[in-house]
Amino acid sequence: MIKWLFILSLAFNALLIPQPVSAHAFGKLYNLPVPFWMYLYGGAAALLVSFLVIGYFLNNTSKNFIYPTINLSNNPFFSILTKSWFLNILKGISVFLLLLTIISGFIGENSAYSNFNMTFFWIFFVLVLPYFTAFFGNVYAFINPWKVLVEWGEKLLGRKVKGVAEYPKNLSYYPALLFYFLFIWIELFGKTGPFSLSLILIQYTFINLLGVMSIGKDNWFKYCEFFSVFLRLIGKIAPLEYHKGTLYLRPPFVGLLKDGAEHFSLLLFILFMLSSTAFDGFSTTLVWYKFYWQKVSVLITSLLGPEPYQAFQLVGLILSPFVFLAIYWILIALTKLITLSKLSIKKLMLEFAFTLIPIAFVYNLAHYYNLILSSGQEMIRLISDPFGYGWNLFGTAFYTPNLSILDAGVTWHVQVFLILIGHIAAVYLAHIAALRIFPTHRKALLSQLPMLILMVTYTLIGLWILAQPVTGGEI
């Protein structure tokens, strides 16, 4: 086995062709302190060493995965978190923030810089909330403002909203995937302002209410409301677990091993979590820009008319999860081949699907690291003047963000560290999953050779995209 792993590592090294590149951070070029190919070697080597260590020490094949937990409910601080009155306060704050976001877009200055709603929604709701969820669990399941509005409506009516139709189970998570795609399209290319964002939130609120009335609250928020699906998956990473009214501390990431993806649509959702961030990074690089102008611009213009680049971007975003799916399918098929498993390729793909979530999460965090540190500080100013009227409610209206924390070198190395941590976690999770799936330790190890290739491939793709100089994303 060690011999084959050594040969495998040499094969990886042969693929890593040295080339000078510059890392990007908000369009600024940063010359790496060592050649980029050394980062690729280091990343591949770190995953290989992790694989060897994990494979050596974890060798107990068992269908049941048991992990240690600590009951936090007896702790005075943590016990408050599970109290109904505390959750009701959070629910009220959640609905208030949704209303404030919508109202500020309608009556405030129509400027992303001056209006509360742009910074709060795109930075704190879309980015910070998932990162918070990864550390503290799926709080959104309790304070989802659209779900809270439905619950308040149920209390007023005195009955549960069950819907007028049965949810077609074969649809599974496809509605959530569709909403997720539309959301990413708006995020990347919609060029929203405060007013248009408020209109979108109003529309999404009505969609949620109509969806609940159509198929019921439980089905809608399980399969269709994409923030619920997204944050439920991210919450499995967290070291905090809420179960039957009790709060537990557990090792991070182990929540991803409690079950597998129940439907192919959920696998596609997970792959889109990964590919949408990768596409966001790749679509602003010089490589993408040159490919469009030098290879396809004339053809697309002749076929699609006056807005060819937007169509090109749309096609790229649609295809992005299928590129990652193709890589995943090939290596899972190789896993089936070398282990002689009786499980179908589709079943194996679903069994290992959740092991991809740490990769999607850390790449998202690495990609938006600078944006959080820079634009996130704007909230200090905006809480004093949410509508852009010149108010100074809390004495912070003239706060100037500290941009000195955005050191390019530190940013790059934090990004590399995050990506490696996520991929090492994925290697660990995949090995545990393999020990449950395959009857012997030897077959579990064999199954992980293709998975190691998958992890290294995704690592190299992530590092390469982060290291590319950018164009600013516009043509």
Q: For each of the chain's 475 residues, which pLDDT tens digit applies?
A: 434 443 344 333 333 333 334 444 334 445 566 666 676 767 777 778 887 777 777 777 566 677 888 999 888 888 888 888 999 999 999 999 999 999 999 999 999 999 999 999 999 999 999 999 999 999 999 999 999 999 999 999 888 888 899 999 899 999 999 999 999 999 998 889 999 999 999 999 999 999 999 999 999 999 999 999 999 999 999 999 988 778 999 999 999 998 889 999 999 999 999 999 999 988 888 888 877 777 777 666 666 665 677 778 888 999 999 999 999 999 999 999 999 999 999 999 999 999 999 999 999 998 898 889 889 999 999 999 999 999 999 999 999 988 877 777 788 788 888 888 988 898 889 988 898 888 888 888 888 888 888 888 888 888 788 777 665 444 4
Helix (H) or strand (E) holding 366: helix 357-367
Alpha-carbon distance values, 249 to 70, 75, 189, 260 (Å): 5, 12, 40, 21
Residue with token string 């992005």: 320
* β-strand partners of 137: none
- Beta strand residue intervals within 251-370, DSSP E: none
Determine the Cα–Cα distance for residues 4 and 237; give it in Å rounded to an integer. 32
Determine the Cα–Cα distance for residues 46 and 39; give it in Å rounded to an integer. 10
Residue with token string 């912070």: 396
Instruction: Answer for the pair 116, 387: CB distance below 8 angstroms, yes or no.
Output: yes
Alpha-carbon distance values, 334 to 264, 276, 337, 348, 453 (Å): 19, 26, 5, 11, 11
Q: Tell me the two tokens of residue 260.
A: 């597998």
Determine the Cα–Cα distance for residues 313 and 178; give it in Å rounded to an integer. 17
pTM for the full predicted model: 0.88
Determine the Cα–Cα distance for residues 86 and 67; give it in Å rounded to an integer. 29
pLDDT of residue 7: 39
Within 10 angstroms of residue 270's Cβ, the number of other Cβ atoms is 26
CB proximity list for 360: less than 8 A, separation 6 or greater:
270, 273, 274, 277
* β-strand partners of 383: none
